[in-house]
Structure 1
Amino acid sequence: MNTQNVQVDWIPAWIPATGFQLRKAGVQFDAVRVDGDAGRALADELARLTGGDPGPVVEEANGRRSVYFLVPVGSTSHRPWPDGVTRLTSGPSLISYVPVPALEGWTWPLSWRYRPLAQGRLVHTLLLRTALNSQE
């Protein structure tokens, strides 16, 4: 499922106007990365569980075909995560960057699987973990 035709009434400052940019994790959000078809299936399961609004989810069309779930800052720490999940966060001796595409125009290889639809709304970390654990 792709929400390219869903309108957003506001555009967060962290979304680039064109193309895509890397955003430092730990500022506006952290991210959880799940590669390949498993990431796409997880995103669609979250959409089903949330009535079509799982929060912002970015997908990559090449390489590992990663799916990035944008979650609240600090919400991934001190929690067990299954194998195959990469936490993108920042802290002492750790800096991670998350690719973020524009809402419109040429952004290949990135696109929004689910766009941000409400200001300040991110993927719910505990719901994400629950959905991940149910896939195993």
Structure 2
Amino acid sequence: MTTDKLPEWVPASGLQLRLAGIHFDAIRVRGVRGEAVLHHLAAATDGRPGPVVREVSGGRWTYFLIPPGSSKEYPWPPGATCFGPSARDQYVGIPAPSGNTYPLSWRCDPPTEGEFVDPELLHQVVTAQLCLPPDD
């Protein structure tokens, strides 16, 4: 895991809430569905899907961080919650690259400056996954 060229919105330690729509938009998917989306994204991107934050307690949410403003370009299906510029005062927890960040962690490495999940690819995968019958 590298800490070179981290975006300024990634904290040095612990975790911090960041207002969605400023530095990034986020698409949130719950439980095993979020993990399935991540699995398919990782396969399609040679293991580098971009910044993904995982919550390991409660709803076990997975947050896919996409470029700011890009969430409004896609019709996100039910089961995918959009945190972006059209939402009002929605915050996403962002963990530090290492150390105690419970209950959040980077599912892959923390992002480098300017790195995001590809919103078009994410939309395709999320739409396909959320149209499958539930198994969780």
Which of 97, 103, 115 aligns to 1:103? It is 97
Match of 1:64 in 2: 59
Match of 1:127 in 2: 121
TM-score normalized by the length of structure 2:
0.88
Whole-angstrom distance in 1 between the partners of 2:65 and 2:78 = 19
RMSD value, Cα: 1.5
Would you say how many aligned residue pairs link Structure 1 and Structure 2? 130
Match of 1:94 in 2: 88
Unaligned runs of 5+ in 1: 1-5
Unaligned runs of 5+ in 2: 132-136
Residues 41-81 of structure 1: CA deviation (Å, up to 9, x unaligned): 11121011001111100000111110000011111114211
Match of 1:82 in 2: 77
Whole-angstrom distance in 1 between the partners of 2:55 and 2:91 = 14
Moved over 6 A (4+): none
Letter of the 2:70 counterpart: S
Which of 25, 31, 34 aligns to 1:36? It is 31
Percentage of matched positions with identical amino acids: 45
Checking the alignment, whether the CA contact within 8 Å between 1:116 and 1:122 is kept in structure 2 is no
Which of 13, 17, 39 aligns to 1:18? It is 13
TM-score normalized by the length of structure 1:
0.88
